Amino acid sequence: MDLKTLTMLIVGASFVLYFAIAIWARAGSTQEFYVAGGGVHPIANGMATAADWMSAASFISMAGLISFMGYDGTVYLLGWTGGYVLLALCLAPYLRKFGKFTVPDFIGDRYYSQTARTVAVVCAIFVSFTYVAGQMRGVGVVFSRFLEVDITTGVIIGMGVVFFYTVLGGMKGITYTQVAQYCVLIFAYTVPAVFISMMMTGHVLPQTGFGATLSDGSGVYLLDKLDGLVMELGFHEYTSGSKGMFDVFCITAALMVGTAGLPHVIVRFFTVPKVRDARKSAGWALLFIALLYTTAPSIAAFARVNMIETINGPTVAGQAATGTPYSDAPTWITNWEKTGLIGWEDKNADGKMFYSGDERNEVTIDRDIVVLANPEIADLPAWVIALVAAGGVAAALSTSAGLLLVISTSVSHDLLKRNLMPNITDKKELFYARLAAGVAICIAGWFGIHPPGFVAQVVAFAFGLAASSFFPAIIMGIFSKKMNSQGAIAGMLAGIIFTAAYIIYFKFVNPAANVADNWLLGVSPEGIGSIGMLLNFAVALVVFKFTKPAPEEIQQLVESIRYPRGAGEAQAH
């Protein structure tokens, strides 16, 4: 059976499963649509949280970043993982005890202000649309290669699938669909990694193969060989960094606190019955996430070595690689070339491909293809390649659904029900939630077709925006009982406006100026969310000093969510 047919069967079967779950778990009330009725088991919620959080950026793009950037790419691994721990320990239980549907709902009630709620809604929509652009792009990349359609058609297919189970099932349908999607994506991610680890190092576990010697009898460590290869070809050493240490710190911090402020992840902790179940599901999610995140560096290193050797030809001791004749190019190159994600320019007219980090380079490679092309590069069986395609789609769709639900609930619940149209019925609110989800999917599809960058870069911007807007407001809302609405509103506006302006200027208005010499304090757009977060805190505290503290009843409310006594049966309302 050819690869295209096999891919259509495996991906199609996963779609049938998602549709069946959506029909079975159809939401019949706003509580089921927003928080799955609040009755999800902690283990199931842990899987759903992992799938919601491990997006196309994690599945498709993170290993690509590490593969191309080496040590510098690990900031994404460290930041995203550390951020989840921060969210699980410092925020999730308290937010669950507060018992609200959404982050804007928490901010609106905690800061006793409809203005604060509206600002939070705008921030949630802005962050979510930025994030979902990367997910829809990921869907398009997968379909463009494996179903041999253009990226636009691939995005439209993904939009149709997400529309069905998001609009029909809401959070209830999304939750159980994400459980299935986690199983698909983790199996698809680890199976090829195990195969390639055994082929290259003889180790079954990719995590140990990453630090092992090659199985060719040379006694050379995998990373030592990779360091030698990339340095000979004009790249910087794989295991050393080129970024400034302060920039690395800021990027890592932005990703960490951005994770803790992401509304689509936070809302998952409202779907369990009790506060202690939120803690349990956070622990399970961390375990499920670790399975993929500890495998990513291995995949990155394996793919980098195989990619260089299949393009430039195998290295021989004492001799430099001279390139591979294009007529003898492996099929993975010609297959991906059709998508436009790999390009070759024969600069010296010798008919050979050569890949390097200097003026000799003739091959351009989109870093988002590394995980998807990895099984083809290693010449694994067709069913493994098709499985990876299904996993990539699952990762992108699971996060897209969570983000779109955040946009939907922000509009229907926070903006309409709690602000502009307080007297609408439950049925009418559900209608507006589904309508908002449908409109959001159309806008998300447009961003997927016209993305502002590669998948992980776009997602990094979303984390920076979340770090500079939501995280300080949530932290101060929980741990500073006197913080008032004026301070929170001013801080959120200052943080997100500064961060968005910085990113937009360097990435879209004047990209030629996007070099370290022009950055504020040497901080790149990917890390500026950390500075935006500090600005948020500073503005909030200054405004607080010149205004009245929060009312006494709000201070008592904050005091009540800080202690676990009596928290067991907290209900969303």
Give the pair of three-digit tokens for residue 382: 């067709």
Contact 143, 157 (CB under 8 A): yes
CA-CA distance, 306 to 302, in Å (whole number)?
A: 6
In percent, the amount of the chain with pLDDT more than 70 equals 89
* SS3 state of residue 213: strand
Q: What DSSP element (H or E) covers 363?
A: strand 363-365
d(CA 279, CA 510): 45
Q: Any residues with CB less than 8 A from the CB of 334 and at least 6 apart, and which?
A: none
Element (H, E) at 352: strand 352-353
Contact partners, residue 159, CB within 8 Å, separation at least 6: 136, 441, 442, 444, 445, 448
pLDDT number for residue 37: 60
Can you give the pTM of this predicted structure?
Answer: 0.77
What domains does the chain contain, in order, with CATH numbers?
Answer: 41-303+380-561 (1.20.1730.10)
Mean predicted confidence (pLDDT) in 82-88: 77
Confidence at residue 198, expressed as pLDDT on a 0 to 100 scale: 93
Between 471 and 235, the higher pLDDT residue:
471
Q: Hey, what are 50's tokens?
A: 């992992």
Whose structure tokens read 């961060």? 499
pLDDT digits (tens, 9 = 90+) for 110-151: 898 888 888 888 878 877 777 777 677 777 777 776 667 777
540 pLDDT exceeds 60? yes
Separation between Cα atoms, residue 462 and residue 288, nearest integer Å: 23
The answer on pLDDT for 103 being more than 70 is yes
Strands 352-353 and 342-344: unpaired
User: pLDDT tens for residues 206-252?
Assistant: 989 988 998 888 888 888 888 888 888 877 777 776 777 888 888 88
In percent, how much of the chain has pLDDT > 90? 10
Highest average pLDDT, of 21-25, 145-149, 180-184, comes from: 180-184
> Which residue, among 265, 283, 280, 286, has the nearest Cα to 102 in the 3D structure?
265
Give the pair of three-digit tokens for residue 343. 């390009």
pLDDT at 459: 66
Count helices and strands (H / E) in the chain: 24, 4
DSSP letter (8 states) at residue 443: H
**Contact assessment for residue 502 and residue 440, using Cβ atoms and an 8 Å cutoff:** no
| 311-315 mean pLDDT | 76
CA distances from 243 to 298, 471, 508, 527 (A): 22, 26, 22, 12
How many Cα atoms occupy the beta-carbon half-sphere of 427 within 13 Å? Answer: 0
Specify the pLDDT at position 188: 87
* Mean pLDDT value across the chain: 81
